[in-house]
A = this chain, B = another copy of it.
Amino acid sequence: MSDEPATTKGPSRRAFLRNGALAGAGLVAGGTAARAATPDPLITEVQDWASAFGDPVDAAPYGTPIRFESHVVRRNVEWLTESPVSSINFTPIHALEGTITPQGCAFERHHSGAIELSKADYRLMINGLVDQPLVFTFEDLLRFPRATTTAFLECAANGGMEWGGAQLEGCQFTQGMIHNMEYIGVPLKVLLAEAGVKPEGKWIYAEGADASSNGRSIPMEKAMDDVMVAFFANGEALRKEHGYPVRLVVPGWEGNMWVKWLRRIGVYDAAVESREETSKYTDLMPDGRARKWTWVMDAKSVITTPSPQAPIRHGKGPLVISGLAWSGNGKVTKVDVSLDGGRNWQEARITGEARSKALTRFHLDIDWDGSELFLQSRATDETGYVQPTKNALRDIRGLNNVYHNNGIQTWWVKADGEVENVEIA
């Protein structure tokens, strides 16, 4: 197994039974009442589903989630943008586990709607300061050597609504502009080598085929590093809303740069300074100047359960705290959790691998005594950088920033198990 919890000794786990934590076991404190417990018909009686045939194998050539999971969906916040065709939705991270985000509920953001572009109609041009301008069909791309990368995509505006204070009720909304997928595609450097980058070519400019085009400039050093022209995500083709059939993948860098429905890579000797890197994706600082080209997504984390959309329903006793951590600068090396709003910290367990520039899952198992908690998580990455508090960010960035809010999130867990988004001094 990739990762195992440390607490697997028999006697210590009996704590579950002694304090009656197992709802269905029908036990009372002392543990010997099991035999006297009322039998649970859901296990002792033959049920309907054991008495009839279920669905046949051809019921769903491409299946969808069971109806009981209909709450695990993308959601959007209507007042956030002026139009639903230049807008964003949010991943239901409160309801997910592990590290893979299903394409179907992975958030997406676009500036003129999600277009329908077939592989037959797809074209990718590379032009500008190159020896040989080229136009690739989708089939052409399938003939170049493939690579893989598993990476998080986070919108730079993730948490942007929280700069002014705790506002939205749920991590889907406060940190949900994020997803994590396994991509297969061609390294951009392979395609650039095909065209031949001239020595004066220092930047690329990536544009999409949608009306907004969403052009972004990327320095050549990054373009020649780990940027990928991707056409598979989590095993299958990209979904329409995720840029079918081809998108750019820019590991660790802000989501807006991961151009969807990729149409063109222009090679230039300077940045284009497009709308998306001047008017947008820049932050006004206290001195009146704007912070620009903030490409890397800094280390960040959030507790996904318990959280406002996932309150504690089982009362006190054993409680699993689960969350996500990530860093655009590499691997997450440590995640700490606080139960008292940042006064005391304990190290959480990283479950599975801590992959570079990808979502990392962490857990902490506690014995909840039923009292109020102020839950926080704090990520440290391989550079030694530690996720800051929101106030530490505000001290530097002022109050007019939109983007790159990677501050520590606080959840107020009340005695009844309900959870609220708060900030504490």
Contact = CB atoms under 8 A, between A and B. Distances in A.
Interface stretch (A105-113, A289-297, A339-347): A105-113
Interface in A291-346: 313-314, 317-320, 322
Interface in A188-217: 189-190, 193-194, 196, 209-211, 213
A79 interface: no
Contact of A69 (B31, B147, B189, B236): B236
Contacts of A5: 145-147, 187, 190
Contact of A72 (B64, B184, B236, B317): B236
A157 interface: no
A360 B50 CA distance: 37
A113 B184 contact: no
A146 B234 contact: no
Interface stretch (A16-24, A276-284, A377-385): A16-24
A110 B50 CA distance: 13
A237 interface: yes
Interface in A258-287: 261, 263-264
A17 B53 contact: no
B147 A4 contact: yes
A88 B182 contact: no
Interface stretch (A116-124, A393-401, A409-417): A116-124
A108 B235 CA distance: 17
A56 B140 CA distance: 31
Given A147-B2, A149-B2, A100 B235 contact: yes
Residue of A67, A72, A76, A194 with most partner-chain B CB within 10 A: A194
Contacts of A234: 98, 100, 102, 234
A36 interface: no
Interface string A1-13: 1111111111001
B61 A75 contact: yes
A40 interface: yes
A291 B59 CA distance: 34
Contact of A66 (B68, B244, B313): B244
A387 interface: no
A370 to B, nearest CB: 14
Interface size class on chain A is 35 or more
B88 A1 contact: no
A322 B190 contact: no
Nearest to A43: B123
A363 interface: yes
A34 B351 contact: no
Residue of A49, A116, A209 with most partner-chain B CB within 10 A: A49
Residue of A1, A76, A123 with most partner-chain B CB within 10 A: A1
Given A143-B319, A196-B10, A361-B148, A54 B115 contact: yes
A99 B183 CA distance: 10
B147 A104 contact: no
Given A23-B137, A49-B211, A59-B114, 16 more contacts: A5-B146, A50-B209, A53-B211, A55-B113, A56-B84, A57-B109, A60-B241, A61-B75, A62-B70, A64-B239, A68-B245, A98-B234, A99-B182, A102-B234, A143-B317, A143-B319
25 contacts: A2-B147, A3-B149, A17-B194, A22-B134, A24-B140, A42-B122, A49-B115, A53-B211, A54-B110, A54-B114, A54-B210, A55-B240, A57-B76, A62-B65, A63-B104, A64-B239, A66-B244, A95-B236, A97-B184, A98-B183, A98-B232, A99-B148, A143-B320, A145-B365, A146-B363
A-B pairs, top 3 by smallest CB distance, nearest first, are A54-B113, A5-B145, A56-B84
